[in-house]
Amino acid sequence: MQSSINSLRSLEQEALQDQQGRKFPYLRLSVTDLCNFSCNYCLPDGCLDHHHSEALTIDEIHRLVEAFTYLGVEKIRLTGGEPTLRHDFADIVRTIRQVPGIKKLAMTTNGYKMDQRVTGWLDAGIDAINVSVDSLDPRAFELITGHNRLREILTGIQKAFDHGLPSIKVNAVAMKGINDDELDVFLEWIRDYPVSIRFIELMQTGNNQEFFQKHHFPGEKIQERLLERGWIRKVRSADAGPALEYCHSDYEGSVGLIMPYSKDFCNDCNRLRVTSLGQLQLCLFAESGIDLRDLLQRDDQQEALVARIRESLKLKEDRHFLDQGWTGGTQSLSQMGG
Ligand code: SAM
Ligand code: SF4
């Protein structure tokens, strides 16, 4: 694929930065809003409304990624919906991999058919995987996701290691009365296994208010339990994102805590999001996005695209207002990838 970056040579190259001085080396790119799971906190009735057939094409994705790398993005995470439902998922990966400046290409997946597909994802050029596993109990897993697929996902994780991936992150949304008693099961699992578990505090979205009220489980409680069990908070690196990292000398794996309701959560925001329809989202809980798609149609639009992205950054708020129950335009995180 031809590079569209030549049309940018005349522009001053300067990394993206917002009014608060935060830098954005990390882009989360949703490649579809379609999902085949029905997680009780995200799409309890399944994916009733989606725009899978209208999602960004590979050419559009290529131009978008070139513009963002020009603006200092080095890491891209492919997400969704379920990103692997794109038939051209491996082609998307190969295309992004060819863009100079991309140092890390990650994906977040529900692990569907991971046992059969993970080697293909890695061979195409994925170098980090987050896979969602909200319970290690097959029955609870099925109740949460609507799918009896825990075994294939755990096999998929092992296959990723066998294929040479040095570590893998597992996302688990902590939910009161559903999986809040599983901390020790998860910890036992990573005693001799190099998995980094990310416990994510359940976030309120437009469509899960009642569920949220019933099942929200504060991240501080997980933090307390970790400290009681001898886990130690790691020193934060300068470019760390919002997760708090913990380690323990008896364990091969590690733990990350994502606590979006904590006071300073947004201070370390280092990421931007683009939806599968090409809308730039300045925050997971923004009221609306900024359309970029009209500027993804031709290579000679790159200068205008870069200028619009830069200009949009001025609109980024200091923080989200989740603690006040304000969820913006986000009905479920499947709309744009968590
Ligand atoms: N379908 C893929 C998956 O589930 O991994 C990628 C998209 S999903 C929206 C990305 C992450 O967001 C998943 O780890 C999921 O558990 C998390 N998530 C979704 N809704 C959430 C919510 N309301 N609160 C916290 N995390 C949520
Ligand atoms: Fe689908 Fe991921 Fe939402 Fe679950 S969390 S319903 S897998 S988008």
Q: What mean pLDDT is predicted for residues 151-178?
A: 97
Residue with tokens 């001085």: 21
Percent of the chain at pLDDT above 90?
Answer: 78
Who lines ligand 2 at CB under 6 A?
35, 37-39, 42-43, 80-82, 110, 132, 334
Distance 318 CA to ligand 2 centre (A): 27
Give the whole-angstrom CA distance, residue 36 versus residue 59. 25
Question: Which of 19-28, 65-74, 173-182, 327-336 has the lowest average pLDDT?
Answer: 327-336
Which residues, other chains included, contact 177 with Cβ-Cβ below 8 Å and sequence gap of 6+? Answer: 214, 215
Whether 157 has a pLDDT exceeding 70, the answer reads yes
Q: Best of 333, 334, 335 to mutate for ligand 1, by most ligand atoms within 8 A of CB? A: 333
Angle at 112 between CA 41 and CA 48, to 5 degrees: 50
Separation CA 107–CA 124 (nearest Å): 12
What is the per-residue pLDDT across 200-229, written as a single tens digit (0 to 9) for each?
999 999 999 999 999 999 999 999 999 999
33 lines ligand 1 (CB under 6 A): no
Question: What is the reported pLDDT for 4?
Answer: 60
Dist. CA 334 → ligand 2 center (Å): 6
Is a pLDDT exceeding 80 seen at residue 50?
yes
pLDDT of residue 119: 98
* pLDDT score for 2: 60
> Could you name the CATH architecture of 5-335?
Alpha-Beta Barrel (3.20)
Higher-scoring residue by pLDDT: 238, 261 = 261
| Residue-averaged pLDDT of the chain | 92
Mutation to probe ligand 2, out of 30, 35, 131 (largest number of atoms < 8 A from CB) = 35
Give me the phi and psi of 334, to 5 degrees please.
Answer: -65, -20
Q: Is the pLDDT at 11 greater than 60, yes or no?
A: no
Cα gap 274→2, rounded to integer Å: 22
**In the chain, where the domains are located:** 5-335
The secondary structure of 172-209, three-state, reads: EEEECCCCCCCHHHHHHHCCCCCEEEEEEECCCCCCCH
Identify the H or E element spanning 244.
strand 244-247
CA atoms within 13 A on the CB side of 215: 22
